[in-house]
Structure 1
């Protein structure tokens, strides 16, 4: 826990020692929003946010912009493009399927509900994969681990759905908040994942 006594700010820190985690969370959200401007980079931008916030929480130190950039670049161009194309292809497929299901076809309502359930489950798995500490090495194994965690941790899935719902509500009420919300959402997903991990001081590698 940070002391309220004056402390020297380290070089390249985004904010001072007071309210460091909250300030870093908002700054990371803004950095993720900027990094997501090409749209195809959005999944990697969010994963980098989770990575730097995870390290900040576990190691009790502030986030730097250089650290965020390094996490983003660690994915490599190929993984950045592959993740972006996959996410947008999945979103397009779900939207098209929902449009077809709502076109007055027989059994459209149960099909629509089934598609929504599949989309929510996929979103939860994707967000948990983005928060995986090894996601920079590959999205496919991270998704496999995320799916396994989702099965064994339904409460965490409910928390993630709640966090996403709150973010959607905030953006609906004030669209400008969308520039900052990637940070709080990344923090929420990371916190959910850290619930089922051993404390940093119990890690064998520390």
Structure 2
């Protein structure tokens, strides 16, 4: 992972971190506008995460770059992912409504439906952050499911990020058009965190094997 720049470049008034924050806010507005049809939400969030990944290679985060990348990838598979996400949300809402209608065992069923819905949402959001989601949604979902099991801490961070985004939008409605960028940043950070942990653990395992071999000799 490349080191973060700490010096201001020509034209940067507040420094690179403030510039990234402003770029993320503009990216959030672009994601919110593009996601108004709802079926485009997974593709928009996935593209935003892909654009944010470019920060590690010093590529700028701009709304124009986001829109250009999104136009190249709005394929039937992306729209199908959107329809599937909407169907899952509708099913969860119907289940919760039925559970609250006074049916026997409704409270236990509501808790089970909420747990399953939360797990599915975490996997879906982590899939949007994976690089495979650009051209392989099934592969991204499988990888996200593995990550959800192997990295429960990252899944907890995703839940916390969503809760923070929802609370922010609820307290101040105009933030609805800004929080998608911050959510995409959080999802990307969680996914990159898992990659960095894998890069760190790999060399350590090799060293441990070499030490064990020398001790055996």
Larger Rg: 2
What CA RMSD, in Å, does the superposition of the two structures yield over aligned residues? 2.1
Show CA shifts across 1:163-203 (max 9, x none). 1111111111001101000000100111011111139x99x
What does residue 70 of structure 1 align with?
68
What does residue 213 of structure 2 align with?
none
- Checking the alignment, whether the CA contact within 8 Å between 2:27 and 2:62 is kept in structure 1 is no
* 1:98 corresponds to 2:96: yes
TM-score (norm 2): 0.83
Task: State the shift of 1:66 in Å.
Answer: 3.4
CA–CA distance in 2 between the matches of 1:114 and 1:29? 32
* 1:186 corresponds to 2:189: no
- Checking the alignment, whether the CA contact within 8 Å between 1:44 and 1:80 is kept in structure 2 is yes
- Checking the alignment, whether the CA contact within 8 Å between 1:74 and 1:136 is kept in structure 2 is no
What does residue 32 of structure 1 align with?
31
Secondary structure at the counterpart of residue 38 of structure 1 = coil
User: Given the superposition, is the C-alpha separation of residues 137 and 117 from structure 1 closer, same or farther in structure 2, using an over 3 Å criterion?
Assistant: same
1:164-203 equivalent positions in 2, closer than 5 A:
164-198=162-196
- Checking the alignment, whether the CA contact within 8 Å between 1:101 and 1:108 is kept in structure 2 is yes
CA–CA distance in 2 between the matches of 1:79 and 1:171? 29
What does residue 7 of structure 1 align with?
10
- Checking the alignment, whether the CA contact within 8 Å between 1:27 and 1:180 is kept in structure 2 is yes
CA–CA distance in 2 between the matches of 1:117 and 1:76? 31
* 1:54 corresponds to 2:53: yes
User: Given the superposition, is the C-alpha separation of residues 65 and 173 from structure 1 closer, same or farther in structure 2, using an over 3 Å criterion?
Assistant: closer
Secondary structure at the counterpart of residue 39 of structure 2 = coil
TM-score (norm 1): 0.87
User: Given the superposition, is the C-alpha separation of residues 59 and 91 from structure 1 closer, same or farther in structure 2, using an over 3 Å criterion?
Assistant: same
What does residue 134 of structure 1 align with?
132
Report how many aligned residue pairs link the two structures: 195
Higher helix content, 1 or 2: 2
CA–CA distance in 1 between the matches of 2:32 and 2:102? 38
Of 78, 81, 86, the residue aligned with 1:80 is: 78
Task: State the shift of 1:67 in Å.
Answer: 2.1
What does residue 154 of structure 1 align with?
152
CA–CA distance in 1 between the matches of 2:7 and 2:85? 43
Q: Which runs of 5+ in 1 are unaligned?
A: 10-14
